[in-house]
């Protein structure tokens, strides 16, 4: 016979759709520092040290620099900025200010080979002044376990879950579908 | 091969709707038409349709293997260079394909001729796999057609098996995307989701327009869940050129159909197949427009954009004059010209055979007939049978 002997539709599907969403093994891990990373035990001490070092270097290199403490705090909030050592190329001798390094993010799974990424305090855009929500308070857990907001050096928000993994946040939407508008995609 | 005129099931609308077939009538026009059926001998099916379909698929593989390593071919196909690596990597990695449909011109006698390969986003799947299967069972029960007939159609079980084998291990979940406002596309995706669930996958639908980009470079659904494995009923050539095109490779996402299918859904394939196997009985002479050899086609030929779907922008050229240029968005990337196949005339109806491949195995047939020789999105779907 050249045709199927029976066709079942939808019978199994309903059960599977309702099943629990499995945690992604590709989420990022977030730590306040190398010690918190070692304590968590998901990475080796060497990996923790290397990724933290990478994050520190990226922080020094990539974080936005401000000419005054006030200018920096206007963006990141009071007490969230630190003076940076004068760069070798800088001739005026004064300090520059940058958002403090408050954590670092390391990839797992697909993203495991990426460097440690520096995490900064959330920007005012993410956590406006007076926002009392727990995720806008300083991280209290050594592994970021309360669920906190951070930002990256490029200003994108990062949120951690209660389990200390960072759900990468949606940076944009709508990048597909523009050419198909009004036409069938099928053939 | 015959066209049978048949009595419809009295409650045919209710019967197809029972299956979840939502587009039996499109814009007030009949789409599913069981008032007729095409009838074949087993020999016609096996020797003239099934075997050539498998052979053409092998030729397509040979073409992809050649094209991924040849910048000149990729350029000629108007594939943006930024995506050559994505395509080559998906081929080198052996990313599996799920399905495709060869459109064939066949009259029951001579060899079937390849009109085109719908390799990336084929539709008319549910009606071929399920609706015509269910019709045959009921039509024989109700003696609307004499019993003992068969159908070239193991699509459903092959799709489930193929979904199970897409990757070495089942992913935690698989997303399915299509344009949200196209009933036909949505129906096709719902059916494939159903097959995937029966294969053990957890599936989630996301409108293609709602896909987001995460801060870590992965794509995400409406709830911000990362998309690791994505079936997209949306053409590669559009994804390449849209805003997230530059993010495709770094997203780490595995796609169905895989990126290398972009080389087969391109009408330039037809010119290259003819170049590789000139005179093959199942191929029509085809050339890139402007190629000196195209003059051998004579005064009447078909002109098709490299990228075209549902017959859009396809025209018949006769003595320099084009007709039948259905409106559409295609053509900017260039054209191929192809010898005009003889589409058989069954009392003013012109059938085109859709020969289905699942995981590259020929396993089904769906026929669409039109009142003109260009099959468009207004063509009717007509079931088929194999004579005992």
pLDDT in tens, A17-49: 111 223 333 457 788 888 888 888 888 899 899
Which residues 6+ apart lie within 8 Å of B110 measured at CB? none
Give the whole-angstrom CA distance, residue B170 versus residue B199.
9
Give the whole-angstrom CA distance, residue A131 versus residue A138.
12
How many CB atoms within 10 Å of residue A33?
17
**Selected residue of A175, A178, A179, A182 to mutate for chain B interface (largest B Cβ count, 10 A):** A175
Give the whole-angstrom CA distance, residue B270 versus residue B272.
5
**What are B84's two structure tokens?**
């050559």
Contact predicate A77/A124, CB 8 Å: yes
How high is the mean pLDDT of chain B? 92
Min Cα distance B70 → chain A (Å) is 27
**What are A156's two structure tokens?**
């994108």
The secondary structure of chain A in percent helix, strand, coil, rounded to multiples of 5, reads: 25, 20, 55
Closest residue to B377, CB basis, from A3, A7, A184:
A184
Which residues 6+ apart lie within 8 Å of B197 measured at CB? A12, A13, A16, A17, B203
**Distance (Å) of CA A36 to CA A39, A46, A144, B202:** 5, 13, 9, 35
**A74 φ, ψ (degrees, to nearest 5):** -60, -30
Contact predicate B368/B124, CB 8 Å: yes
In chain B, residues 51-90 whose CB comes closer than 8 Å to chain A: none
In this predicted structure, the answer to whether residue A15 has a pLDDT above a threshold of 60 is no
Put simply, whether B19 touches A (Cβ < 8 Å) is: yes
**Selected residue of B21, B103, B215, B355 to mutate for chain A interface (largest A Cβ count, 10 A):** B215
Put simply, whether B47 touches A (Cβ < 8 Å) is: no
The per-residue pLDDT for B2 is 97
In SS3 terms, B114-139 reads as EEEEECCCCCCHHHHHHHHHHHHHHH
Min Cα distance B352 → chain A (Å) is 13
How many CB atoms within 10 Å of residue B173?
22
ipTM of the complex: 0.88
Least confident of B43-52, B210-219, B277-286: B210-219
Least confident of A128-142, B83-97, B136-150, B235-249: A128-142
pLDDT in tens, B343-354: 999 999 999 999
Inspect the interface and report whether the beta carbons of A185 and B235 lie closer than 8 Å.
Answer: yes
Instruction: Enumerate the β-bridge partners of residue A104.
Output: A31, A118
The per-residue pLDDT for B186 is 86
Instruction: Enumerate the β-bridge partners of residue B104.
Output: B114, B353
In this predicted structure, the answer to whether residue B224 has a pLDDT above a threshold of 60 is yes
**Distance (Å) of CA B191 to CA A98, B22, B203, B281, B334:** 54, 12, 12, 35, 34
Contact predicate A95/A86, CB 8 Å: yes
Put simply, whether B213 touches A (Cβ < 8 Å) is: yes
Which of B188, B324, B66 has its CA nearest to residue A185? B188
**Distance (Å) of CA B78 to CA A17, A108, B63, B69, B215:** 40, 37, 16, 15, 31
DSSP B241-265: HSTTGGGTTTT--EEES-GGGGGTS
Contact predicate B235/B307, CB 8 Å: yes
Min Cα distance B59 → chain A (Å) is 21
In this predicted structure, the answer to whether residue B301 has a pLDDT above a threshold of 80 is yes
Chain B CB contacts of A24 under 8 Å are 172, 225-226, 228
Min Cα distance B88 → chain A (Å) is 20
pLDDT in tens, A137-166: 654 433 333 456 778 887 776 766 555 566
**B348 φ, ψ (degrees, to nearest 5):** 85, 5
Average confidence (pLDDT) over B77-83: 96
Average confidence (pLDDT) over B323-327: 64
CA B257 from centroid of its chain's CA atoms:
11
Q: What residue of A is the nearest CA neighbor of B19?
A: A9
Give the whole-angstrom CA distance, residue B78 versus residue A62.
38
Domain boundaries along the sequence of chain B: 2-265+346-386, 285-339
* ∠ Cα B241 B242 B246 (to 5°): 80
Cα end-to-end distance, chain A, whole Å: 29
pLDDT in tens, A50-79: 999 999 999 998 888 888 899 998 888 888
Contact predicate B265/B304, CB 8 Å: no
Residue B158, helix vs strand vs coil: helix
**Selected residue of A169, A176, A181 to mutate for chain B interface (largest B Cβ count, 10 A):** A176
Closest residue to B233, CB basis, from A2, A12, A186:
A186
In this predicted structure, the answer to whether residue B129 has a pLDDT above a threshold of 60 is yes
Global model pTM greater than 0.80: no
């Amino acid at each position: 016979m050249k045709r199927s002997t029976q066709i079942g539709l939808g019978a199994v599907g309903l059960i599977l759709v309702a099943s629990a969403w499995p945690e992604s093994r590709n989420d990022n891990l977030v730590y306040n520092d190398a010690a918190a990373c070692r304590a968590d035990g998901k990475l080796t001490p060497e990996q923790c040290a290397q990724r933290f070092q990478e994050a520190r270097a990226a922080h020094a290199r990539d974080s936005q620099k401000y000419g005054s403490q006030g200018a920096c705090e206007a963006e990141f909030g009071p007490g969230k900025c630190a003076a940076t050592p004068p760069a070798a190329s800088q001739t005026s001798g004064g300090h520059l200010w940058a958002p403090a390094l408050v954590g670092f993010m390391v990839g797992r799974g697909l993203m495991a080979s990426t460097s440690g990424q520096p995490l900064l305090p959330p920007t005012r855009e993410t956590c406006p002044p007076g926002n009392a929500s727990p995720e806008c308070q300083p991280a209290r857990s050594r592994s970021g376990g309360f669920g906190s907001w951070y930002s990256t050096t490029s200003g994108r928000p990062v949120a951690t879950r209660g389990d200390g993994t960072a759900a990468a946040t949606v940076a944009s939407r709508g990048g597909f579908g523009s050419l198909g508008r009004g036409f069938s995609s099928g053939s | 091969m015959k066209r049978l005129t048949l009595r419809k099931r009295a409650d045919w609308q209710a019967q197809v709707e029972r299956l979840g077939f939502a587009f039996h009538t499109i814009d007030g026009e009949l789409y599913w038409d069981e008032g007729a059926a095409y009838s074949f001998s087993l020999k016609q099916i096996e020797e003239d349709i099934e075997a050539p379909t498998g052979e053409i698929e092998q030729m397509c593989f040979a073409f992809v293997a050649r094209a991924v390593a040849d910048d000149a071919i990729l350029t000629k196909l108007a594939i943006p260079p930024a995506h050559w690596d994505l395509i080559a990597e998906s081929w080198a990695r052996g990313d599996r394909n799920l399905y495709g449909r060869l459109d064939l011109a066949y009259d029951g006698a001579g060899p079937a001729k390849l009109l085109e390969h719908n390799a990336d986003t084929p539709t008319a799947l549910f009606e071929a796999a399920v609706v015509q299967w269910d019709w045959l069972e009921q039509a024989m029960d109700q003696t609307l057609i004499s019993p003992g007939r068969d159908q070239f159609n193991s699509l459903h079980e092959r799709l489930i098996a193929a979904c199970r084998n897409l990757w070495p291990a089942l992913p935690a979940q698989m997303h399915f995307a299509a344009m949200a406002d196209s009933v036909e596309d949505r129906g096709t995706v719902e059916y494939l989701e159903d097959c995937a669930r029966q294969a053990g996958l957890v599936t989630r639908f996301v409108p293609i327009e709602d896909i987001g980009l995460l801060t870590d470079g992965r794509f995400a659904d409406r709830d911000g869940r990362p998309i690791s494995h994505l079936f997209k009923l949306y053409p590669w050539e559009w994804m390449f050129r849209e805003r997230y095109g530059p993010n495709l490779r770094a997203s780490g996402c595995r796609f169905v159909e895989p990126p290398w299918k972009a080389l087969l859904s391109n009408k330039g394939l037809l010119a290259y197949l003819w170049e590789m196997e000139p005179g093959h009985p199942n191929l029509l002479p085809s050339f890139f427009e402007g190629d000196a050899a195209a003059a051998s086609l004579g005064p009447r030929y078909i002109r098709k954009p490299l990228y075209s779907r549902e017959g859009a922008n396809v025209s018949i050229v006769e003595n320099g004059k084009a007709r039948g240029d259905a409106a559409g968005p295609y053509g900017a990337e260039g054209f191929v010209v192809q010898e005009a196949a003889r589409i058989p005339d069954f009392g003013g109806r012109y059938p085109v055979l859709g020969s289905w491949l699942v995981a590259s195995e020929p396993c089904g047939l769906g026929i669409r007939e039109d009142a003109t020789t260009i099959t468009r999105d207004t063509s009717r779907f007509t079931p088929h049978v194999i004579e005992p």
